[in-house]
C-alpha cells in the first residue's frame, strides 16, 4: 500500500489524518465523492450541476454548509442530502471541489 492509498484508507476509516499536508488531499476528496455517490445527482443531465465547476465563485464556508447542513443553507425543500464529514474529510472534499472547478 503506498502512502496515498494509506491516507485515503485512514480518512475512510474516520481517522483524523495527521500531517494532512503529506496526503494528496485532492485525491482523497475525489475518493470520498466517489464513495458517497455525489455524481448520481451531480452530473450533466442530472438533478444537480456536475461537481466540476460547482465551487466557482463560492466560499469554502458556503460549500461546507451546503454539504453538512443543506436544509439550512440551500432551503428546506432542497434535495441535497446532509453528509456527516469530519473536518479532515471536509478539507479534502473542498480541495477536490476547488481542483475540479479549475478550468
Contact 83, 36 (CB under 8 A): yes
* 3-class secondary-structure state, position 48: strand
**Out of 10, 20, 48, 82, which residue is the one contacting ligand HEC (CB under 6 A)?**
48
Query: What cell was used for 87?
Result: 473536518
The values of phi and psi at residue 16, to 5°, are -75, 115
- Residue closer to ligand HEC (CB basis): 1 or 14: 14
- For ligand HEC, which residue of 7, 17, 31, 38 counts as binding (CB under 6 A)? 38
Chain positions contacting ligand HEC, by CB under 6 A? 33, 36-38, 40-42, 47-48, 54, 58, 63, 66-67, 74, 78-81, 83, 93
Amino acid at each position: 500500500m503506498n502512502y496515498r492509498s494509506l491516507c485515503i484508507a485512514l480518512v475512510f476509516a474516520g481517522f483524523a489524518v495527521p500531517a494532512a499536508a503529506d496526503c494528496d488531499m485532492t485525491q482523497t476528496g475525489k475518493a470520498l465523492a466517489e464513495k458517497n455517490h455525489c455524481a448520481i445527482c451531480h452530473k450533466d443531465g442530472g438533478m444537480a450541476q456536475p461537481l466540476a465547476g460547482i465551487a466557482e465563485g463560492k466560499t469554502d464556508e458556503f460549500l461546507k454548509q451546503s454539504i453538512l447542513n443543506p436544509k439550512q443553507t440551500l432551503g428546506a425543500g432542497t434535495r441535497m442530502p446532509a453528509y456527516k464529514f469530519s473536518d479532515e474529510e471536509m478539507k479534502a472534499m473542498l480541495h477536490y471541489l476547488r481542483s475540479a472547478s479549475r478550468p
